[in-house]
């Protein structure tokens, strides 16, 4: 378990920077899969970003050689505070808990283990419930086009 916590701590900084930067550098409009290679630490990052998707201003799915992360950014009239509780993801009627990696005002990131990624790859339908602190919890039916892009993203890891 100590190695898992160490992984979370190292990933915490990486994911928080990634989520914030990705909100500004990825073109708005239709999503596309973007692949980047970092010569410094020899890691490959592949991500997709959807803008104004359901209740979210941004939805970002990111895969690296070290793991996969799902990020949400929500805006409204007032600040939204995400709970640090795990999100619930219902895949074809069965609920799986996805641990929260990071919360900030209006945003949160969640870590997907290999089991969760496999379930998403084989899913026909996904509904996600994200827990909030100061507003109602958000339940979101993932559109088919978003789910299909996530599947393509997972398939492209390792290529």
d(CA 46, CA 55): 24
Q: State whether CATH 3.30.70 applies to domain 2-156.
A: no
2 vs 54: which has the higher pLDDT: 54
Q: Predicted confidence band at 11 (pLDDT cuts at 50, 70, 90)? A: low
> How large is the angle between the packed helices 114-121 and 144-156, nearest 10 degrees?
130
Rounded to two decimals, the pTM is: 0.77
- Locate 72 and state its tokens: 């949400």
Q: Predicted confidence band at 90 (pLDDT cuts at 50, 70, 90)? A: very high
- pLDDT (tens digit per residue) in 47-66: 999 999 989 998 999 998 77
Q: List C-alpha distances in Å: 75 to 57, 71, 117.
A: 6, 14, 27
Number of helices followed by number of strands (H, E) in the chain: 3, 10
Tell me if 67 sits within 8 A of 7, measured CB to CB. yes
- pLDDT (tens digit per residue) in 91-112: 999 999 999 999 988 899 999 9
Task: Output the pLDDT for position 13.
Answer: 43
Q: Predicted confidence band at 23 (pLDDT cuts at 50, 70, 90)? A: very low
Average pLDDT in the chain = 82
d(CA 125, CA 4): 29
């Amino acid at each position: 378990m100590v190695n898992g916590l160490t992984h979370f701590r190292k990933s915490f900084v990486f994911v928080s920077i990634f989520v914030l930067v990705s909100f500004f550098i990825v073109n708005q409009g239709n999503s596309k899969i973007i692949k980047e290679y970092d010569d410094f630490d020899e890691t490959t990052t592949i991500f997709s970003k959807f803008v104004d998707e359901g209740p979210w201003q941004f939805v970002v799915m990111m895969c690296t050689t070290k793991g996969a992360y799902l990020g949400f950014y929500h805006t409204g009239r007032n600040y939204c505070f995400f709970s640090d509780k795990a999100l619930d993801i219902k895949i074809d009627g069965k609920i799986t808990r996805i641990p929260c990696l990071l919360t900030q005002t209006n945003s949160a990131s969640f870590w997907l283990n290999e089991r969760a990624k496999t379930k998403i790859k084989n899913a026909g339908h996904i509904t996600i419930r994200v827990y909030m602190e100061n507003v109602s919890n958000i339940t979101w039916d993932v559109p088919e086009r978003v789910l299909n892009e996530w599947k393509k993203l997972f398939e492209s890891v390792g290529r």
